[in-house]
Amino acid sequence: MPKKVLTEKITPLSEVKEILESRSKEGELKYEQRLTLDYASKFAKIKSGKAEKFIKELMEAVDKVKERQAIKIADLLPVTPDDVRVIFAKERFSLTENEIKKILEIVDKYRP
């Protein structure tokens, strides 16, 4: 019988990496989990604790930024205004230049 999904949560790459590393210490990871850990290790740019703080700060600073977009910004750490616009391309709204500037300022504070 297939397992039922009870909840779903969007998670930053840094947290995924942390979870999979702790599970790998408990026992062997499945193939998909090993691939995901490898991916997260290569592309997670900031630590999990910092990412949490970053996401919260971003959502407070710019009202239009929801958790999903904040996590995507934390994973990608965009460099240019066009990078930020791409993240919001499918939304029904567009960000002002000031909002994009504020997002990039916050990203620069957390960039390694």
Query: Are both 56 and 100 inside the same structural domain?
Result: yes
Same domain, 67 and 28: no
The answer to whether 59 and 71 have CB atoms below 8 angstroms apart is no
What is the pTM (predicted TM-score) of this model?
Answer: 0.86
Torsion of CA 48, 45, 41, 26, to 10 degrees: -10
32 secondary structure, DSSP code? H
The domain in which residue 101 lies consists of 52-110
Domains identified in the chain, total number: 2
Query: Are 97 and 67 members of one domain?
Result: yes
- Asked if the structure places residue 88 within a domain, the reply is yes
3-state secondary structure of 69: helix
**Separation between Cα atoms, residue 64 and residue 87, nearest integer Å:** 12
Residue corresponding to tokens 């994973």: 75
Q: Is residue 27 part of a domain?
A: yes
pLDDT tens digits, residue range 11-65?
A: 999 999 999 999 999 989 999 999 999 999 999 999 988 999 999 999 999 999 9
